[in-house]
Amino acid sequence: MTGPRYTPLIETLPSTVPFVGPETQERRMGHPFRARLGANENGFGPSPRAIAAMAAAAGDVWMYGDPENYDLKQALAAHHGCAPENIVVGEGIDALLGYLVRLTVAEGDAVVTSLGAYPTFNFHVAGYGGTLHRVPYRGDHEDPEALIALAREVRPKLIYVANPDNPMGSAHPGEVILRMVEQVPEGTLLVLDEAYVELAPEGTAPAIPPEDPRVIRFRTFSKAHGMAGARVGYAIGARPLIQAFDKIRNHFGMSRISQAGALAALRDATWQAYMHRLIAAARDRIGVIAAENGLSALPSATNFVAIDCGRDGAFARAVLEELTGDGIFVRMPGVAPLDRCIRVSCGPEADLDRFAAALPGALDRARARA
């Protein structure tokens, strides 16, 4: 009796995933987390209008969702001042990144990214056999100049950059990204991940024409709209590229419930403004908590804050482990020198209170381990 015949590429890949979910950790610990502040989720939740729309759609869940995502695409196009043909909707940015890599990257093709940047993109590139070329961060920012310089050397299919950035929360002004677009080598596509841009200061989002063939921009309903569990993402790009997604995307990947919720969330400008205030206040509170413990909070343009623990990655990991043991879910960057930090999501006041109460003891125990 034989099993499946895997491709040679799949045989070489490790059995791994980019993130271990908090639910997996809870099962291992045998109890739930007391504060869920590690996955960059928006703990304040979605618009009440979105909740009502999703509840109303639940009765029709026996039907597949509209494979064209027609109503949502129309609304997104109006929101961004482009044509519906410039937008593709999918199961979160993660899935759309996978589709893009499948469209553009064959085995051995070069791809440029930053060392320590969002690992799910790297996961997709490895899964399709691409060759990753990385540049280090410059300080706590991704380095556009270094990314372009490396791209001129290796002529990649894709350059990935997130603005604002995950895991550090930093952001470049829009004009920096525009200069980057102007320098993209011929035959290379700039992948601009803007998952957090709705939460960033004015001027962070560059004014890029939707039909510019050098760049594709990714947005999500997971962060500012508080709908991570609904898995709704979209990309804005030139029509030929967006049309190419139809060749390979999962046409029934979006549920009716998610489509209805996203449409209602997009229309609720009042809730979006309220959410910005809640997240800004939570960022400030995390900064205060860090300072009270002799730590430094990095400036953030996102719904999370990176806290510099003041030593190396081993110490930050010890702090993280101590917080985990106390029922506080946080995460940390994966490579030095970024891994001197822990990363704390903005969340409700009660969760931040629990984090504030747990952090002094976690630091003391981590220092005792050093």
Pure H helices in 247-348: 256-267, 269-292, 313-325
pTM assigned to the model: 0.96
Task: Delimit the CATH 3.90.1150.10 region(s) of the chain.
Answer: 19-45+270-369
Q: What confidence score (pLDDT) does residue 192 get?
A: 98
pLDDT at residue 60 greater than cutoff 70 = yes
Average pLDDT over residues 227-254: 98
CA-based torsion, 247, 99, 204, 184: positive or negative: negative
Confidence grade of residue 17 (pLDDT, cut at 50, 70, 90): confident
Report the distance separating Cα 140 and Cα 169, nearest Å.
9
Summarize pLDDT for 313-338 with one digit per residue, the tens.
999 999 999 999 999 999 999 999 99
Structure tokens at 164: 């604002």
Average pLDDT over residues 52-72: 98
pLDDT at residue 56 greater than cutoff 80 = yes
Q: What confidence score (pLDDT) does residue 1 get?
A: 67
Average pLDDT over residues 103-123: 97
Cα 43 to Cα 53, 55, 286, 348: the distances in Å are 19, 19, 14, 6
Ordered DSSP codes for 241-255: HHHHHTTTS-TT-S-
- Domain spanning 48-267: CATH 3.40.640.10: yes
What is the DSSP secondary structure assignment for residue 141, as one 8-state letter?
B
Confidence grade of residue 300 (pLDDT, cut at 50, 70, 90): very high
pLDDT at residue 257 greater than cutoff 70 = yes
Report the distance separating Cα 299 and Cα 193, nearest Å.
19
Q: What confidence score (pLDDT) does residue 16 get?
A: 80
In this structure, the strands spanning 296-297 and 110-114 are: unpaired
Cβ atoms within 10 A of the Cβ of 330, count? 24
Task: Delimit the CATH 3.40.640.10 region(s) of the chain.
Answer: 48-267
Locate the DSSP E strands across 63-109: 87-90
Cβ atoms within 10 A of the Cβ of 321, count? 14
What percent of the chain clears pLDDT 90, i.e. is strictly above it?
A: 96
CA-based torsion, 319, 325, 328, 331: positive or negative: positive
Instruction: State in Å, rounded, how far the first CA of the chain is from the last one.
Output: 52
Contact predicate 345/175, CB 8 Å: no
Average pLDDT over residues 224-229: 98
pLDDT at residue 19 greater than cutoff 90 = no
Task: Assign 54 to helix, strand or coil.
Answer: helix
Q: What confidence score (pLDDT) does residue 18 get?
A: 84
Cα 101 to Cα 70, 155, 158, 242: the distances in Å are 24, 16, 8, 13
pLDDT at residue 370 greater than cutoff 80 = no
Mean pLDDT estimate for the chain: 97
Summarize pLDDT for 161-207 with one digit per residue, the tens.
999 999 999 999 999 999 999 999 999 999 999 999 999 999 999 99
Confidence grade of residue 3 (pLDDT, cut at 50, 70, 90): confident
Confidence grade of residue 15 (pLDDT, cut at 50, 70, 90): confident
Report the distance separating Cα 245 and Cα 251, nearest Å.
10
- Domain spanning 19-45+270-369: CATH 3.40.50.720: no
User: Longest C-alpha distance within the chain, in Å?
Assistant: 63
